Structure 1
Amino acid sequence: MLNQVVKFSKKLPGIPTLPFIGNLTFLLKNKKNLPIALEKVSRQLKKNFGIWFGPIFGVFIVEPDDIEIILTSPLTADKEPTIYEIFAKFLGPTSLQPSKADKTYRSDKKLIMSIINSKYVFKFIDTFNYHANVLVNVLENKVDKGEFDVLNNMSHCIADIVFETIFGIPGKNQQGSVDKSVSHIERVMELLFQRALNPLWHFDFLFNVLSKHSKEWYHTKTGIDFFLENLIAEKTKNYPKSKDNENDSKFRCSLFDQLFSNVEATQKWTKEETKTNLFTLFLASHDTLHGTISFSLLMIAMHQEVQDKIRQEVNEIVGDELINENVLNNLTYIDMTLKEIIRLFPIAPLMGRVTSDDLKLTSHTVPKGCSIALFALGVHKNPKYWIEPDKFNPERFSVENSKNRPKYAYIPFSGGARMCPGYKYGLACLKTIISHVIRNYELSTNMKMSDLDLYMNVSIHNRTGYPVSLKKLKS
């Protein structure tokens, strides 16, 4: 099987390799700006390309037709094992990190989807509104005081929302009671990606001996384990078991309460599986949302004409009222703006798969056992499908401008059977926060698009921060 992969690698364009280490030199040289370096390679080669990660060959897919084949084929249902084994070292075994052979995945995902589908998501709108309003009040202290990095405030706001909607516990991070798990979760993604990028660190012994991050890895893991074990113990102790309390919304609103109810009834997950699945949800929701909302406010501050259109839409549709289901569905310009932000700064810039058999794409056949990377940043900036791909322009997502674009030229939440189950939750949360902030404050920044210094630790972040100035709008 390896021989077939080696033969195949010679047919694809790519970066010159060195014996045994492949493209490791390129990867380590560009580890601080890897998404930009890979996107430049993609733009230069103008087609799918290959990279050797030590002994592992990965095919980077940037063609929409091939992306569609991969996302809809049963031959690529398995996620790339090397990366997910690193995740499992931290998270533990979890059904939310599936392989095709894992028979529990489909039913477990069905459970998750049933809880965070569009109908259930709207039950969280009151929570979104409440914490977005707390954010508006907290930001009052930043008015007319120059630029500040919004990331910390966004992290605390999203953490409060996640605590209540996923864990079912009060979120008080914005009020100054910052939970240690929040700082742990922000560091986890960096540690996971750094370890995944270096093939030597895939081995526990070498990681423990060679990596300066090994102590922090285990310290962070211990802290998160402690938080989740206490949460589960408290839920087990206080969860209502009588039928009298069964329909009490106070006990059954959060995602954890729904999951816990199912686990109690079916004994489907062990305590360890419950813990690791909860952590996966926490990790996925917090890291993606606090980064995306920070980019959103920065882009809105940077582009005054976009800000004016958003504010006009919010004033006309929302006014002084709270966000509700009908309002969310009618905020079309905010929706276009979020799509453009996620195009430029993908939530998942790389999505790994592995072929379980030979897979025929449009221009070549990928052999069995080959690793595949769906390169969202590459296809999102492919000049064949995006005019001026580096420019921020929400109008490109209007109905008229979108109608002739290939469906899979835009893959914000993956697609097919592996599509992110929480995307509706995320979009509803982001729209609510933006609406509250934009109707209370005028945003500005001295930062330009050319000042961005992007790096990746699973999702994309900006090394130069998210500096924004606030001016209070008149009531």
Structure 2
Amino acid sequence: MSQFNKEKMFWSDSFSNLLVITIMIILLYFKNYFKAVYLALRLPGPPILPLLGNVLLVTNSKKMEAIAIKMPELYSPVMRIWISMIPFFLVYEPKHLQIVLGSNKYSTKNMLYSLLHNFIGDGLITNTGEKWKLHRKLIQPYFHINVLKVYFDAFFKYSTVMVADLEQETDVNVVKFANRFVLDVLQDTILGLPARTDQSPYRKGKLFMPYRITRPWLLLQTLFKRTEFSKQEAEHQVLLRNYTRKILENKKNSFGCSNSSVNNLMEMMIEISKENQEFTEEDIINEACTFMLAGQDSIGAALTFSLYFLALHQDVQDRVMDELKSILKGANRAITFEDVGEMKYLEQCIKETLRLCPSVPIIARVLTEDLSLGKYVLPAGANILVAPFATHRLPHVFPDPLKFNPDRFSTENKSQIHPYAYIPFSAGPRNCIGYKFALIELKTVISQILTKYHLTLAPGHEKLNFSYRITLKAKNGIWLRLRKRCEN
């Protein structure tokens, strides 16, 4: 046999093998897909529209809220939702969530997170597998409680600024003040920019993920790229990355030139990259973008909702004030990091706020193995939705679930709560890395505001209406009436 014929046979066999492997992969994918479809057709769920499925439900806040409240009696123990022709399975019971979230064995991030790649790149939110494990391992130590003390000066500084910004206000929508405060803190603690600026591109970002979910044909990247929204998203991503890259370059050039200590995450990540070549400059930019973008809406929403409930429940606000007076012992002085650690009842109030108003109301996963939940078997490859908003309203876990009751999280009571029944920061190995950061920041700013102002709800703005996007928001803002407290 000639050399030519041997090579021809080799390439022919290689192509045949590749074709067989490709066909097997496609068949395996569709096998799991059809398993998921078959199960979805047997499960209860909201009425669907042809081709669209339940996508219009996502834009209807009142219906979403009603379903979350009645879910246990209507759709137990698993509910199906269709995003176009893709079935999703909503799991909400704590014992089931412990399986889904408690180990990387059963689940990983699903297709919806890929829609964030265009905007924030490959950070802790969007990464999976070994890269995620490495980044989590390297960054986690910088969110230890002892390290978080470094950030307290920024929390206190911008809390004081926010209190001053509210000085001339009476009836005020606190959302814009809260968002300004949160961005100022993030610019300082993440990027190391201590001066306030209105020029930050992080102030102007817009995410088109919700828009794409409600128009399922745009989930296809090839179609989305043909839209004006794709162009806007790409332009803003370039703006964010160039802005962050310039800050990184300045930090690297000045790093080690002075005796000042490392006091922001950007500098901490530069230290990481020096000791770990796998953690590159692009990784630093991706993670900085992730923390800046993820932190804004989530902490801002938690702050405004907390202020709303304190204004609504005067007895709770009075108890918080009694606690603050006890901590400060009547002295007219600035709070300290140690003081924040003693604000136990205020922390209970924040936790109860996040129970009723979790900043991220939906978490998405995809199963990597078949998963048995009661009489149902969810197949590998199935898309899972976890709904903290619904789980936090389960009456057999939280009696009288719609009542605002911070004592649920008292020392005596919190031990009775299933560890996967309260998940505002997710749970398990992929929980939010910055939850302690957020709690300390929130306690610092809320204590500062309450020390200066007595809060009530502005007349005509008593009802809270939700808006569901990536994060949970107040549809018409949070309007408060501020009254200065008497100086002691």
Note whether the superposition's TM-score is higher than 0.5.
yes
Distance 1:448 1:397 in 2: 31
Number of aligned residue pairs: give it. 453
Residue 104, structure 1, aligned to residue 131, structure 2: yes
Which digits, 9 at most, give the CA deviation of each residue in 1:301-355, with x for residues without a partner? 1211111111111111135333334322221110110011101110221111111
Contact 2:58 2:468 in 1 (8 A): no
- Which of 135, 160, 164 is residue 162 of structure 2 equivalent to? 135
Report the AA paired with residue 221 of structure 2: D
Residue correspondence of structure 1 range 101-250 to structure 2 within 5 A: 102-142=129-169, 146-172=170-196, 177-185=197-205, 187-188=206-207, 191-209=208-226, 213-240=229-256, 245=258, 248-250=259-261
- Structure-2 change in CA distance of 1:200 and 1:124 (3 Å): same
Maintained 8 Å contact 2:183/2:296? yes
1:334 maps to 2:364: no
Q: Distance in 1 between matches of 2:74 and 2:358?
A: 21
Find 1:39's aligned residue among 68, 80, 90: 68
1:285-296 matches, within 5 Å, as 285-296=295-306
Structure 1 residues 453 and 422 mapped into 2: Cα distance closer, same or farther (>3 Å)?
same
Stretch deviating more after TM superposition (354-363 or 115-124)? 354-363
Q: 1:313-462 residue pairs with structure 2 within 5 A?
A: 313-318=323-328, 319-446=331-458, 451-462=463-474
Q: How far apart, in 2, do the equivalents of 1:70 and 1:17 lie?
A: 26
Q: CA deviation at 1:55?
A: 2.5
Q: Distance in 1 between matches of 2:265 and 2:117?
A: 22
- CA spacing shift, 1:354–1:448, aligned 2, 3 Å: farther
Supply the distance in 2 between the matched residues of 1:449 and 1:309 (Cα, whole angstroms): 24
The answer to whether residue 96 in structure 2 is matched with residue 66 in structure 1 is yes
CA displacement, residues 270-321 of structure 1 (integer Å, 9 cap, x when unaligned): 3333212110011121221111111111221121111111111111113533
- Secondary structure at the aligned position of 2:232 is classed as helix
Give the superposition deviation at 1:65.
Answer: 0.5
Contact 1:84 / 1:97 at 8 angstroms: preserved in 2?
Answer: yes
Amino acid at match of 2:135: D
Alignment-derived partner of residue 91 in structure 1: 120
Identity across the alignment (%): 26
Higher relative contact order (CA 8 A, sep 6+): 1
- The structure with more radius of gyration: 2
Instruction: Show CA shifts across 1:128-159 (max 9, x none).
Output: 112111222222121xxx31111111111111
**C-alpha deviation, 1:192, in angstroms:** 2.7
* Structure 1 CA distance for aligned equivalents of residues 469 and 211 of structure 2: 7
Residue 456 of structure 1, CA deviation: 1.8
- In structure 1, C-alpha distance between the alignment counterparts of 2:311 and 2:90, rounded to whole Å: 33
CA distance in 2, matches of 1:37, 1:200: 28
Q: Where do 5+ consecutive residues of structure 1 fail to align?
A: none
Question: Letter of the aligned partner of 2:434 in structure 1?
Answer: G
**Is the CA contact 1:66–1:362 (under 8 Å) kept in the aligned structure 2?**
no
Matched-pair contact (CA < 8 Å) for 1:39–1:378: yes
TM-score by structure 2 length? 0.87
- The SS at the match of 1:365 is strand
Could you say if the C-alpha distance between residues 65 and 128 of structure 1 is closer, same or farther in structure 2, counting changes exceeding 3 Å? same
Alignment partners' CA distance in 2, 1:222 and 1:104: 23
- 8 A Cα contact 1:86 1:196, kept in partner: no
Asked whether the 8 Å contact 1:34–1:456 carries over to 2, the reply is no
Q: CA deviation at 1:427?
A: 0.2
Query: 1:47-62 counterparts in 2 under 5 A?
Result: 47=76, 48-62=78-92
1:227–1:384 CA distance, 2 compared to 1 (3 A): same
Distance 1:27 1:287 in 2: 19
Q: Aligned-pair distance for 1:444?
A: 1.2
**Cα offset, 1:447, TM superposition:** 5.8
- TM-score, normalisation: structure 1: 0.89
CA-based RMSD: 2.3
Distance in 2, matches of 1:350 and 1:60, equals 9
For residue 76 of structure 1, what is the aligned residue in structure 2? 106
Give the Å deviation of 1:93.
2.9
The Cα shift of 1:163 comes to 1.2
Which amino acid letter does the alignment assign opposite residue 451 of structure 1? K
Distance in 2 (CA, whole Å) between partners of 1:203 and 1:37 is: 31
Letter in 2 for 1:193: P
Change (3 A) 1:88 1:38: farther
Residue in 1 that maps onto 2:55: 24
1:373 is paired with a residue whose SS is: strand
Letter of the structure 2 residue corresponding to residue 473 of structure 1: R
Where structure 2 has 5 or more consecutive residues not aligned to the other structure, the ranges are 1-31
Q: 1:41 to 1:220 in 2, by over 3 A?
A: farther
Alignment of 1:306 onto 2:316: yes
Q: Deviations over 1:212-259 (max 9, x none)?
A: 64443234323322321221222233222x6xx5xx344x11111000
Question: 1:40 Cα deviation (Å)?
Answer: 4.7
Partners in 1 of 2:430 and 2:260 — Cα distance? 30
Deviations 1:444-474 (A, max 9, x none): 1136897222112211001111111111111
* Deviations 1:380-406 (CA, angstroms, capped at 9, x unpaired): 112222222222221222234444332
CA distance in 1, matches of 2:165, 2:49: 53
